[in-house]
Amino acid sequence: MASRSDPLGSPRKAPPAAAGAGSAPGSASKSQPQKALEKLGLRRDIDLALHLPLRYEDETRITRLADARDGDMVQIEGQVTHSEVTFRPRRQLRVTLDDGSDTCVLRFINFYPSHQKTLSVGARVRVRGELRGGFVGREMVHPAFRAAGGELATALTPVYPTVAGLPQAYLRKAVLSGLARADLTETLPEKISSKNLPQPLSSMREALSFLHQPTPDVLLATLEDRSHPAWQRLKAEELLAQQLSQLQARRVRAAMRAPALAAPLMRGTQCTLHDQLLERLPFRLTAAQQRVGAEIDADLKKNLPMHRLLQGDVGSGKTVVAALAAARCMDAGWQCALMAPTEILAEQHFRKLIGWLEPLGIQTAWLTGSQKAKERREALAMIESGAAGLVVGTHAVIQDKVIFKNLALAIIDEQHRFGVAQRLALRSKMTQGGEEPHLLMMTATPIPRTLAMSYYADLDVSTIDELPPGRTPIVTKVVAEARRDEVVERIRGQIAQGRQVYWVCPLIEESEAIDLTNATQTHEALTAALPGTQVGLLHSRMPTAEKKAVMSLFTSGQLGVLVSTTVIEVGVDVSNASLMVIEHAERFGLSQLHQLRGRVGRGAAASACVLLYSTGEAPRLGETARARLKAMAETQDGFEIARRDLEIRGPGEFLGARQSGAPLLRFADLATDTALLAWARSLAPVMLDKHAELAHRHILRWLGGKAEFLKA
Ligand code: ADP
Ligand code: MG
């Protein structure tokens, strides 16, 4: 696909002096392209060498006009038979070119006298551009051109991804000189480099040189689908770098120490906190909860820092597993911290945990950005003295002023909502003798297996793959906005049965104001439509105290319906709620929809989720929105949802949203490059053990300074 927006090395945006050729690096305009290079992240030679072409142009041959088809990128040579400046529809230079087989028109909106001179009648010129079927015949708009004759290129011409202010010609030169200078000495150990691969790997220098300047005989399709051996080498390199860095991070962690949290020996009938908590729970743990609990216990007993992700679908009961881990930690005489991304979520955990732990004599401290100074001072004192065994809060937990007496376990709920830096900060809260705290991260958005294998090789994963018994499946309906009245009728039905309803309003990220209007209008409309029912409103602009008040009215059952704009408050737990309506569901991401739906179906009552969609001005729903809603209607399994989400969005975006800072794969594709991934996985430990120097150089080449992030 030829993009019209990138400057094809044509004179379209170049200054007069540069007609026909790009301005060279080192000219007066040097600083702007230099800045643009930085903006693209092209600082080191290796970065330039790895900046690969979007596509290629063929300047190795001259095509006869009669042989070219509309839409082709071609180079032709011929004589100018006509040249004029016209003013309709706007000022432009129109030139007719005859190559003996046919004619075509060249059109220039921006042109200088020097252009006109080169393109004057009788001149023989070589032009290159996209041939289009025009109004009055075939034409090229703003082709690159120069005098005819001269040598033909011997390699295809690369066209690079670029930004404004960085002409192709400049970028091309920069890339080629970066490539020439880059250290591409072999980092793959000689004997094993191609073992278990379908084809031997070429050298990295060969591969990159080829990708930047392929010989004209190459099958372009093998470059496009990245199956060419040069691509294979590049992808193998990239996957290896990723596996090496993950494994290295894992080994760095294995060299660190954490307090071993073995339970103290108990005498007589006195029982551990852990067992007392277990005994007092109003339910029995599911088999899955017991299994992950045992996995966590085994980690905590070791003097290696745990680095475990607890994944379990919404409602699968992660909180109680976290509470049991906290009890283990306190049994051993250490402190535990639990951090959640929003205040409502943190407070919910706090209430639940004090309900479970206070009767057992545990003091819990509460930390949040919005609390009063006095309250905060008291909490800080309890944390520092060790009086508080458990600390629950928001980001406030990781502030500098918070000093733990002896933190040994950090639990992070909805871990993907926190950045790498925040996780590192929480870990650094442990100060004793160079030890690290154990880390338990929880998520309701499971990671598909292929991603877990590659991105999270440095993470142990525990999975709760079963819901507590007695839950009835949630029926999901996708309903057009036009049928809103029927939905309101449905709400009436639920209210009549003493149930409660969530109504989530559209998320328009650009405009909180519009969000608010929508929610307010819906709130008014529902209040009018449901006389005798209390309808509450919750939105992101409300002060925290007010939000809490509304939330507690809903929790206590005084509100029948809760209209909310805040999709952030995932995790709220009101088991009497049996209907979830999501307005403009087409605007939400798949995992968000799944999380929202998980707010219902928490009790034994039959629950439903209505996805109201609107096509707005458009005649029908967009393709990805349709795919998302379809997935929601078809499955309730969080793992399946995650798999489809990955399919719809691709791994880059999927992970990008989860974990800022993690280097993503630029070249390899986990779905198709499974053989290369397996190769990289098996090679990584061998390289670290036997070829440490090569491994180090390899990681540096690919990750530069970013490797730090992998430790979080
Ligand atoms: P999530 O995994 O989404 O964080 P929660 O921990 O909030 O789920 O649990 C959802 C609900 O299920 C809570 O009300 C919790 O008390 C309850 N629950 C947890 N485990 C069990 C169980 N084994 N049996 C019955 N109910 C349970
Ligand atoms: Mg939860």
**Pseudo-torsion of CA 271, 274, 275, 280, nearest 10°?**
110
Joined tokens for residue 670: 């986990």
Assess contact for 455 and 245: CB atoms under 8 A. no
The H-assigned helical ranges of 620-669 are: 623-634, 638-649, 651-658
The answer as to whether 86 is a domain residue is yes
CATH number at residue 90: 2.40.50.140
Nearest alpha carbon to residue 210 among 224, 230, 187: 230
Ligand 1 centroid, distance to 467 Cα (angstroms): 8
Q: Which residue has the higher pLDDT, 197 or 513?
A: 197
Please report the pLDDT score of residue 650 as a whole number. Answer: 61
Helix (H) or strand (E) holding 138: strand 138-141
pLDDT digits (tens, 9 = 90+) for 155-190: 888 989 888 888 888 999 999 999 999 999 989 888
Q: What does the chain come to in residues?
A: 712
Please report the pLDDT score of residue 409 as a whole number. Answer: 96
| Separation CA 459–CA 127 (nearest Å) | 56
pLDDT digits (tens, 9 = 90+) for 102-118: 999 999 988 888 889 99
Q: Is the CB of 307 under 6 A from ligand 1?
A: no
Query: In this predicted structure, which of 235-249, 315-329, 406-420 has the lowest mean pLDDT?
Result: 406-420
- Residue type at 477 in one-letter notation: K
Burial, 526: exposed, middle or buried (Cβ in 10 Å; 0-12, 13-18, 19+)?
buried
| Separation CA 330–CA 388 (nearest Å) | 10
Ligand 1 centroid, distance to 636 Cα (angstroms): 17
Q: Which residues contact 509 (CB under 8 A, 6 or more apart)?
A: none
Confidence tier at 101 by pLDDT (50, 70, 90): very high
Please report the pLDDT score of residue 411 as a whole number. Answer: 95
The ligand whose atoms approach the alpha carbon of 316 most closely is: 1
Q: Which residue has the higher pLDDT, 237 or 195?
A: 237
Kindly state the average pLDDT of the residues 217-231.
88
Ligand 1 centroid, distance to 698 Cα (angstroms): 45
The answer as to whether 294 is a domain residue is no
Calculate the average pLDDT of the chain.
83
Q: Is the pLDDT of residue 324 over 90?
A: yes
The answer as to whether 271 is a domain residue is no
Structural domain range at position 578: 474-635
Ligand 1 centroid, distance to 315 Cα (angstroms): 5
Joined tokens for residue 219: 């099958």
Please state, for a pLDDT cut of 90, what percent of the chain lies above it: 44
According to DSSP, residue 67 is labeled G
Kindly state the average pLDDT of the residues 223-243.
90
Kindly state the average pLDDT of the residues 606-626.
83
- Residue type at 599 in one-letter notation: R
Residue pointed to by tokens 């330039």: 48
Please report the pLDDT score of residue 499 as a whole number. Answer: 94
Ligand 1 centroid, distance to 297 Cα (angstroms): 19
Confidence tier at 469 by pLDDT (50, 70, 90): confident
Q: Which residue has the higher pLDDT, 655 or 432?
A: 432
Assess contact for 36 and 51: CB atoms under 8 A. no
Q: Is the pLDDT of residue 535 over 60?
A: yes
Q: What are phi and psi of 281, to 5 degrees?
A: -65, 140
Q: Is the pLDDT of residue 22 over 50?
A: no
Kindly state the average pLDDT of the residues 558-572.
77
The answer as to whether 579 is a domain residue is yes
Burial 41-77 (b: 16+ CB within 10 A, else e): ebebbbbbbbbbbebbbbbeeebebeebeeeebbbbb
Please report the pLDDT score of residue 390 as a whole number. Answer: 96
Ligand 1 pocket test: pick from 277, 281, 283, 285 the residue with the most ligand atoms within 8 Å of its Cβ: 283
Q: With a threshold of 0.75, does the pTM exceed it?
A: no
Kindly state the average pLDDT of the residues 516-526.
85
The answer as to whether 174 is a domain residue is no
Ligand 2 centroid, distance to 349 Cα (angstroms): 8
| Separation CA 542–CA 329 (nearest Å) | 37
Query: In this predicted structure, which of 301-315, 381-395, 538-552, 686-700 has the lowest mean pLDDT?
Result: 538-552
**String of DSSP letters for 468-537:** PTTPPPEEEEEEEGGGHHHHHHHHHHHHHTT-EEEEEPP--TT-HHHHHHHHHHHHHHHHHHSTTS-EEE
Which atom of ligand 1 is closest in space to residue 413's alpha carbon?
A: 4
Please report the pLDDT score of residue 265 as a whole number. Answer: 57
Q: Is the CA virtual torsion 529, 530, 532, 534 positive or negative?
A: negative
Residue pointed to by tokens 């045992």: 294
Which atom of ligand 1 is closest in space to residue 470's alpha carbon?
A: 25
What SS3 state is found at 159? strand
| Residue of the CA atom closest to atom 26 of ligand 1 | 468
Kindly state the average pLDDT of the residues 42-49.
90
Highest mean pLDDT among 191-205, 325-339, 410-424, 468-482: 325-339
Helix (H) or strand (E) holding 665: none
Last residue of a domain, one of 131, 147, 163: 147
Kindly state the average pLDDT of the residues 531-546.
86
Joined tokens for residue 317: 């009961």
Please report the pLDDT score of residue 29 as a whole number. Answer: 47
Which atom of ligand 1 is closest in space to residue 319's alpha carbon?
A: 6
Please report the pLDDT score of residue 656 as a whole number. Answer: 47
| Residue of the CA atom closest to atom 23 of ligand 1 | 285
Confidence tier at 658 by pLDDT (50, 70, 90): very low
Q: Which residues contact 454 (CB under 8 A, 6 or more apart)?
A: 239, 242, 243, 246, 665, 670, 677
Q: Is the pLDDT of residue 616 over 60?
A: yes
Count Cα atoms within 13 angstroms, Cβ side, for 377. Answer: 3
Burial, 450: exposed, middle or buried (Cβ in 10 Å; 0-12, 13-18, 19+)?
middle
Q: Is the CB of 396 under 6 A from ligand 1?
A: no
Ligand 1 pocket test: pick from 285, 352, 573 the residue with the most ligand atoms within 8 Å of its Cβ: 573
Q: Is the pLDDT of residue 10 over 60?
A: no
Kindly state the average pLDDT of the residues 4-12.
35
Residue pointed to by tokens 């399994």: 637
Kindly state the average pLDDT of the residues 559-583.
82
Kindly state the average pLDDT of the residues 365-390.
94
Query: In this predicted structure, which of 28-42, 466-480, 488-502 has the lowest mean pLDDT?
Result: 28-42
Ligand 2 centroid, distance to 314 Cα (angstroms): 7
The answer as to whether 459 is a domain residue is no
Give the CA diameter of the chain. 109
Last residue of a domain, one of 635, 653, 685: 635
Nearest alpha carbon to residue 65 among 108, 98, 96: 98
Q: Is the pLDDT of residue 651 over 80?
A: no
Joined tokens for residue 279: 């005994």
Q: Is the pLDDT of residue 26 over 50?
A: no
Q: Is the pLDDT of residue 27 over 50?
A: no
Strands of 198-259 (E only): list them.
none
What strand order describes the sheet that includes 438-443?
A: 364-367, 390-393, 335-339, 407-412, 438-443, 307-312, 460-464
The answer as to whether 544 is a domain residue is yes
Please report the pLDDT score of residue 342 as a whole number. Answer: 82
Kindly state the average pLDDT of the residues 352-373.
92
C-alpha 545: how far from its chain's center? 32
Kindly state the average pLDDT of the residues 334-340.
94
Please state, for a pLDDT cut of 70, what percent of the chain lies above it: 84
pLDDT digits (tens, 9 = 90+) for 260-297: 998 765 545 568 999 999 999 999 999 999 999 999 99
Helix (H) or strand (E) holding 700: helix 692-703
Q: Which residues contact 646 (CB under 8 A, 6 or more apart)?
A: 448, 451, 654
Please report the pLDDT score of residue 702 as a whole number. Answer: 85
Joined tokens for residue 701: 């080449």
The answer as to whether 267 is a domain residue is no
Confidence tier at 432 by pLDDT (50, 70, 90): low
What SS3 state is found at 64? coil
| Separation CA 378–CA 224 (nearest Å) | 63
Q: What total of structural domains would you count in the chain? A: 2
Please report the pLDDT score of residue 431 as a whole number. Answer: 63
Kindly state the average pLDDT of the residues 632-652.
79
Last residue of a domain, one of 635, 659, 687: 635
